[in-house]
A = this chain, B = another copy of it.
């Protein structure tokens, strides 16, 4: 598969893209761990939030936010999260986890997350995360800041389509 190919692959379910590619929605793949199941024999609800976090920080790597955090102390804080559980997940399985920016505000943005079971071939969960940008520092309380233009441009470029921008 060519990354420069402008036609999205049809091999991936709606709301997901090739984890090894550059198409949106930004997607990662991850094996389900046996120990993530609770005594009902299903993956525990807190693990879905960890999956959302995993794709979120991979997305942050991609848009340069983790680098900005390390270099300038400007980083994310989670303000709100929701999760709708569509179907139980069990070991062994591999899940696709995708995220896309559906709202890009001045000081905060919203990521929409989806989880796909490759065993069930079904959407098993979805939900949103609201992220606020913060200036962290050793000498002062963290305070919210405007999203830096660098980050804004990276998000707009990656998720142009869902944000309604000219892609």
Contacts and interface: CB of A to CB of B under 8 A. Distances in A.
Interface of A: 28, 30-31, 33-35, 37-41, 44-47, 49-50, 53-54, 57, 61, 75, 77-85, 88, 91-92, 136
Chain A interface SS verdict (over half): mixed
A154 B53 CA distance: 37
A83 to B, nearest CB: 5
Contact of A49 (B37, B45, B84): B45
Nearest to A136: B40
A49 B39 CA distance: 17
Contacts of A49: 45-46, 49
B50 A46 contact: yes
